[in-house]
Amino acid sequence: MEYGLIGQKLGHSFSKPIHEALGGYAYDLVPLPDEDAARAFFASRDFRAVNVTIPYKQLALAACDEVDEKAAAIGAVNTVINRSGRLYGYNTDYAGFAYMTKRAGIAFQNRTVLLLGTGGTSRTVTAVARDQGAKEVLLASRSGKNGALSYEDAMKRKDVEVVVNVSPAGMYPNNGECLLDLTAFPRLEAVADVVYNPFHTALLQQAEALGVRCVNGLSMLVAQAKYAAEYFTDKKIPDGEIESIYRDLRAKQANLVLIGMPSCGKTSLGKACAKLLGKRFVDLDAEIERQEGRPISQILAPGKETYFRDVESRVTARFARESGQVLSTGGGVVLREENVAALRQNGVVVYIDRPLQDLQPGGARPLSQSRQALEAQYAVRAPLYQKACHAKVNNDAPFYTVADRVKERFYEVLDCERA
Ligand SMILES: Nc1ncnc2c1ncn2[C@@H]1O[C@H](COP(=O)(O)OP(=O)(O)OP(=O)(O)O)[C@@H](O)[C@H]1O
Ligand SMILES: O=C(O)C1=C[C@@H](O)[C@@H](O)[C@H](O)C1
Ligand SMILES: [Mg+2]
């Protein structure tokens, strides 16, 4: 290997496409199961330059022959360059985190900051917060040992103004995990999460619901990669690259999720939009049928929905945590908030609103067999679709015109999210 990333588990990482866009070199993900394997990797010196992620950033520091002053003060190295057999260590997460929080308008000066997690990244973020004049930096961990607070005790600190998650809690494939209740902090101004996969962790979804300023780790990831690529190639890369790579990556990774009434066009528009956007198409109803080995008409019956809804929630959670897809849902997916939260963690949710008279009762949907049933369902669900979606598209025009509208709204939502 010449360039790449080492860490214990790398299934979540987006570093490969970022580095390949930044530097034009091949970049490999090399998972190493334990510290012995990581030590042996550095001892072999069989690489030109690598990034290092959880849990080897402290070990990487010890393996280097020379460590940059800032990285040594922080105690964590995420970039190692092999120059003629000598290993040089740097920390580009520091600049990456500073970039991300500045971009999001999050300030540390005179703030009480609570960090969730005590690993290598907590040292980096502590350094940024202190350098920017934080009043106090508190650490919390599950064990509450080594000077850290337990999560329970952390929630008693009513003075906390900024929360930063520096732990892998909630990171793919453990989507949905969240150890803190943000309502405990009446003075909360901002929440940052260094996790970028999923895009909106459960912690950030809580912050959004409270109307608190928040940011995820994707801009940090891209920024630290840019600073690392400068060491890799010994060339300056313009800062503007961070924004353009971020935008391309988010558009590529984001799911497009279509919700709406039975027969509003979710499946057919979903297939067309998947082609337009170059994404994989998944129809959640078809996945439920595949998993159950029988059609929905045999699983779902009026008054006997619970079994079907449970299967639907499991299938929704499984696909919603993946990236780069168009997901067409079943009409009732919005009936459970947990499904909506799952779909929004990586997805732009578009409500396909088709005029009631164009919706077709009957077919393979047991709960909307008559026009009356369909109308009653519309009255209940329309407000839920409205609440769950980022954008609404009226399906009242020729099919391909509507598919183009959906694609445009997808990009508009992503642009707004960044602004
Ligand atoms: N704009 C349109 N013009 C013409 N036909 C359309 C348009 N939108 C959807 N249709 C047609 O409406 C029918 C229902 O669409 P589709 O099966 O995609 O809906 P759905 O939302 O997936 O329904 P369900 O919830 O039952 O799975 C299909 O035959 C589709 O081709
Ligand atoms: O998830 C990733 O790909 C990475 C995360 C951070 O630890 C970075 O420091 C590392 O360079 C790459
Ligand atoms: Mg369908």
Taking only the tens place, the pLDDT of each residue in 232-279 is 999 999 999 999 999 999 999 999 999 999 999 999 999 999 999 999
Q: Over 90: is that where the pLDDT of 304 sits?
A: no
Report the pLDDT averaged over residues 167-180: 92
pLDDT band at 347 (very low <50, low <70, confident <90, very high): very high
Q: Which ligand is nearest to the CA of 402?
A: 1
Report the pLDDT averaged over residues 163-176: 94
Q: Where in the chain is the domain with CATH 3.40.50.720?
A: 95-216
CA-angle at 114, arms to 113 and 117, nearest 5°: 140
53 lines ligand 2 (CB under 6 A): yes
Which of ligand 2's atoms lies nearest the C-alpha of 93?
9
Task: Determine which residue's CA is closest to atom 4 belonging to ligand 2.
Answer: 53
User: Which CATH class, in words, describes the domain spanning 95-216?
Assistant: alpha beta
The answer, yes or no, to whether the previous bond of 198 is cis (omega within 30 of 0) is: yes
Question: If you compute the radius of gyration of the chain from its CA atoms, what whole number of angstroms results?
Answer: 24
Distance CA 122, CA 163 (A): 12
Pairing mode of beta strands 3-7, 28-31: parallel
Q: Where in the chain is the domain with CATH 3.40.50.300?
A: 254-418
Which of ligand 2's atoms lies nearest the C-alpha of 53?
7
Pairing mode of beta strands 86-90, 79-83: antiparallel
Q: Over 90: is that where the pLDDT of 216 sits?
A: yes
pLDDT, tens digit (0-9, with 9 covering 90-100), for 78-97 = 999 999 999 999 999 999 99
More confident residue, 382 or 297: 382
Q: Where in the chain is the domain with CATH 3.40.50.10860?
A: 3-90+227-240
Pocket test for ligand 2, best of 6, 14, 15, 58 (most atoms within 8 A of CB): 15
Q: With beta carbons less than 8 A apart as the criterion, state whether 99 and 219 touch.
A: yes
Give the pLDDT of residue 303: 79
Separation of CA 266 and ligand 2 centre (Å): 36
Least confident of 210-224, 273-287, 365-379, 399-413: 365-379
Give the pLDDT of residue 344: 98
333 lines ligand 1 (CB under 6 A): no
Does the model's ipTM exceed the 0.85 cut?
yes
Q: Which ligand is nearest to the CA of 283?
A: 3
Question: Would you tell me which CATH number, out of the four given (3.30.70.270, 3.40.50.10860, 3.20.20.70, 3.30.450.20), belongs to the domain 3-90+227-240?
Answer: 3.40.50.10860
Give the pLDDT of residue 316: 98
More confident residue, 5 or 119: 5
pLDDT, tens digit (0-9, with 9 covering 90-100), for 92-151 = 999 999 999 999 999 999 999 999 999 889 999 999 999 999 999 999 999 888 889 999
Structure-token pair, residue 181: 């209740």
Separation of CA 272 and ligand 1 centre (Å): 11
Separation of CA 266 and ligand 1 centre (Å): 6
23 lines ligand 1 (CB under 6 A): no
The answer, yes or no, to whether the previous bond of 173 is cis (omega within 30 of 0) is: yes
- For 254-418, CATH gives 3.40.50.300
